[in-house]
Amino acid sequence: MDRRSSWLKGVLDLLVLAALTEGESYGYALAARLDESGLGRIKGGTLYPVLNRLEEAGLVVAEFRAAEKGPGRRYYRLTDQGREVLREQGTAWMEFDGSVREVLRKGGVS
């Protein structure tokens, strides 16, 4: 696993919760949204276990919808509990990120 992948793995749950604040979505669209944000391509084998874990924790709810053409899709929506976890963990991540940036800055990284 490359360094970027290991960093992403540590924060992907939080990023998925944040992406769902824009409204309900299905897996492929979430992956595309995260890719467009500059995070790179996130494969289904990485994303769907995260969505399942978030659903089991009550942070998102999923609803299967049949499609007129092609297979149906599971749409995911953020719960109130998911919003609260996003606020708490998002704040903690931002503090951590600030600390990392400060150490790097002192080390001569700009």
Query: How many Å apart are CA 94 and CA 79, to the nearest integer?
Result: 22
The answer to whether residues 75 and 65 touch, using CB atoms and an 8 Å cutoff, is: yes
pLDDT tens per residue across span 8-58:
888 999 999 999 999 999 999 999 999 999 998 999 999 999 999 999 999
Residue in the structure block whose two tokens are 């990485």? 46
pLDDT in the model for residue 2: 77
pLDDT tens per residue across span 48-104:
999 999 999 999 999 999 988 889 999 999 999 999 999 999 999 999 999 999 999
The pTM assigned to this predicted structure is 0.90
Radius of gyration of the chain from its Cα atoms, rounded to whole angstroms: 16
Query: How many Å apart are CA 79 and CA 66, to the nearest integer?
Result: 22
The answer to whether residues 26 and 73 touch, using CB atoms and an 8 Å cutoff, is: yes
pLDDT in the model for residue 1: 59
Residue in the structure block whose two tokens are 């919760």? 17
Q: List the domains of the chain with CATH numbers.
A: 3-106 (1.10.10.10)
Write phi, then psi, for 73 (nearest 5 degrees): -135, 150
What is the distance of C-alpha 75 from the center of its chain? 15
pLDDT in the model for residue 28: 95
pLDDT over threshold 90, residue 110: no
